[in-house]
Structure 1
Amino acid sequence: MIKEKINKLFAVTLLSSSMVAMPAFAQNNAEDLVQQHMDRAAIEEIVKNYILENGDIIIEGIDAFQMRQAEEEAKAAEAAIQNESAFLYENDHPVAGNPDASVSVVEFFDYNCGYCKKALVDVRDIVDSGEDIRFVFMETPILSPSSKEVSKWSLAADKQGKYFDYHVELMEHRGQYDEKTLIKLAKKAGLDVDQLMADKESPDVEAQINENLEYMQKFGVRGTPTFIVENRMMRGYVGKERLLDTANEIRESKK
């Protein structure tokens, strides 16, 4: 882009000079003449020198552009969350914590996500402490083919009322998720394995995963973990204290 602008500027400069010095009949060929005399190496040197001499200005421009882009994305995400809040908070997603809490936290996650596993410690601490927070779990398997299979098993556990127990076992697991492992973890969570294996193949489980992934795009969620606290989106691993502080801010704003 910079090179194109300099090319055009250079061409206009030469063209203007040529039009003064050249007869009228030659002006039609001015652009051809300019192209013949443009030195690619010289132009590249101009670009290089400009960048070296004005690096701070270029960086400031990039930073400003990125800030504007982030602000626009945040506004778009907030609008999408407000318009589709029923999907987040009133749909039949697995939940944990206080069912009557004044603040809900939605987590988009993948079982093969290392930072999601790290976030589990914070989520479980908040749930176990009895905080005035309800967690909504959004299964979004995006990292590998095995992620989707694990999500199917996990959502099936919700049919037995043991979603969070199994979720914890799955998140704490380190290594591959093969069928033997999924069965072993299901038994640890107290699940009926035969029923679990039947339920994971039900059409509604597949439909829920597909719908989650569709809304993930609508909300502008680009990776896992991502948390939505009411209408505020927090990308990546944020830690227990930030989750609690954000929930408290929202709770206070409702008073």
Structure 2
Amino acid sequence: MKKSPFQRYFHIPLTASLFCGVMVTPLSGYAQDNSSFTPEQHKEIISTVRQALKNDPSILEDAIIAAQQKRTKQRTESASKTLAEKKNVLMNVLPTDGFIGNPNAKNTIVEFFDPRCPYCKKILPELVQLTKDDKNVRIIFKIVPILGENSVLQSRAIVAATRQNGYVSMMKAIMDSKEEITEDTIKTIAKQQKLDADRLIQDMKAASVTKALEDNVQLLRDLGIDGTPALVINDKKIIPGAVSYETLKTILQKEGR
């Protein structure tokens, strides 16, 4: 079965990936360089490494910690670079984005979300409340369908609704729905939101909708974010996971413009 371009990308567990990086790569390097060592020397090297690890397992532990620290530093530096490079994309509402709050607010929160993500559903009311309580905050929504084919279907409907100024209303209705979301369900929800349902279904197939979703997922990856929800505060700070209303207020006080 062909995988969707939006299908969630999985990572090798940290310990396994680091073990591969620390141990397997060097050993495979020896294996490829047959001119450097004789088979007996190659065997002796492997035996020496194995014995060293048996005698002092902390060698591997130290290597894993060092590799983890290096990876964290690299991801942080990469994310900071991406935040700077993608400032215009993050800080401006694109035609395929949704937003709530004061369009001229001093502070901007960008939320990456999947409509099927339970934590995204949990945090949405708090984001809405925040914009009601603080007129210096706006929320820009960037949808990333990373939880399977049904996420793609729902995401297409929400992005396509921008053509009828219905992004936020469709987003809320779909995420609040207790029913299984199908094309028929989407039509019903669209009609309830006073949208042209047939036009919406047609717009969902547009190449611009597909590209918007692909671009959002790529941006998520470039920022080193592995899941949803994820918040970007004023194109400077990334907050992974769902956070409470009070935590958001505190962060804005520290990171606000």
TM-score (norm 2): 0.73
Residue of structure 2 in register with 1:27 after alignment? none
Equivalent residue in structure 1 for 2:173, among 162, 169, 172: 169
Q: Percent same amino acid at aligned positions?
A: 24
Task: After superposition, give the CA deviation of every residue in 1:8-50 in whole Å (9 maximum; x if it has no partner).
Answer: xxxxxxxxxxxxxxxxxxxxxxx777778x6988975653342
Structure 1, unaligned runs of 5 or more = 6-30
The verdict on how the C-alpha distance between 1:99 and 1:143 changes in structure 2, with shifts beyond 3 A counting, is: same
Match of 1:8 in 2: none
**For residue 66 of structure 1, what is the amino acid of its counterpart?**
Q
Residue aligned with 2:232, SS: strand
Cα deviation for residue 209 of structure 1 reads 1.7
Partner residue of 1:22?
A: none
CA, structure 1 residues 119+67, in 2 after alignment: closer, same or farther (shift >3 Å)? farther
Query: What is the CA-CA distance between 1:245 and the residue it aligns to?
Result: 2.0
8 Å contact kept, 2:112–2:142: yes
| Aligned position for 1:248 | 253
Aligned counterpart, 1:84:
86
Q: Distance in 2 between matches of 1:3 and 1:185?
A: 53
Tell me how far apart the structure 2 counterparts of residues 3 and 67 of structure 1 sit (CA, whole Å).
Answer: 19
2:196 matches 1:198: no
For 1:204, the aligned partner's letter is S
Counterpart of 2:33?
none
Alpha-carbon distance between aligned partners in 2 of 1:124 and 1:72, rounded to the nearest angstrom: 34
1:36-185 matches, within 5 Å, as: 44=50, 47-51=53-57, 54=58, 59=61, 61-90=63-92, 91-92=94-95, 93-174=97-178, 176-185=180-189
Unaligned runs of 5+ in 2: 1-21, 27-37
By how many angstroms is 1:197 displaced? 2.0
RMSD: 3.1
Q: Which residue of 1 aligns with 2:216?
A: 212
Task: Find the partner of 1:239 among 214, 238, 244.
Answer: 244
Deviations 1:177-197 (A, max 9, x none): 212222233233332323322
8 Å CA contact 1:166, 1:185 repeated in 2: yes
CA distance in 2, matches of 1:245, 1:35: 58
Residue correspondences, number: 224
What are the Cα deviations for residues 171-225 of structure 1, in whole angstroms up to 9, with x where unaligned? 2234532122222332333323233223323332222222222322332232221
Contact 1:102-1:132 at 8 Å conserved across structures: yes
CA distance in 2 between counterparts of 1:134 and 1:95 reads 7
Are the counterparts in 2 of residues 3 and 47 from structure 1 also a CA contact under 8 Å?
no
Q: 1:189 to 1:59 in 2, by over 3 A?
A: farther
**Residue type at the aligned position of 2:70:** R
Q: Secondary structure at the match of 1:62?
A: helix
Partner SS, residue 159 of structure 1 = helix
The structure with higher relative contact order (CA 8 Å, sep 6+) is 2
Q: Is the 8 A contact 1:3 1:43 kept in 2?
A: no
Distance 1:159 1:205 in 2: 10
Whole-angstrom CA distance in 1 between matches of 2:66 and 2:40 = 39
Separation in 2 of the partners of 1:238 and 1:141? 20
| Greater displacement, 152-161 / 168-177 | 168-177
C-alpha deviation, 1:115, in angstroms: 1.8
